[in-house]
Amino acid sequence: MGDKKSNDQRSNVYNPTSSDNKAAGDNKSNQMNPNNSAYRKSRGK
């Protein structure tokens, strides 16, 4: 029952009150910030 289907995960990412949405937003922000290690990793550096 704890298994999430891909549609359930997609719904959670687009739900502004879900923690999955916050995690996705934080990840995007980190990848856009040149001072963050995720920025370099997302560009293969």
pLDDT score for 39: 93
Determine, yes or no, domain membership for 41: yes
pLDDT score for 11: 74
Determine, yes or no, domain membership for 1: no
pLDDT score for 40: 92
pLDDT score for 1: 46
Determine, yes or no, domain membership for 24: yes
Determine, yes or no, domain membership for 12: no
- The answer to whether the CB of 12 falls within 8 A of the CB of 20 is yes
Could you tell me the residue range of the domain that residue 36 belongs to? 19-45
Whole-prediction pTM value? Answer: 0.56
Domain count within the chain = 1
Over the stretch 1-45, which tens digit does the pLDDT of each residue have? Answer: 456 666 666 777 777 788 888 888 888 898 999 999 999 999 997
Q: Which of 36, 14, 38, 39 is nearest to 24 (CA)?
A: 14
Residue that has been written with the tokens 């704890």 in this structure: 2
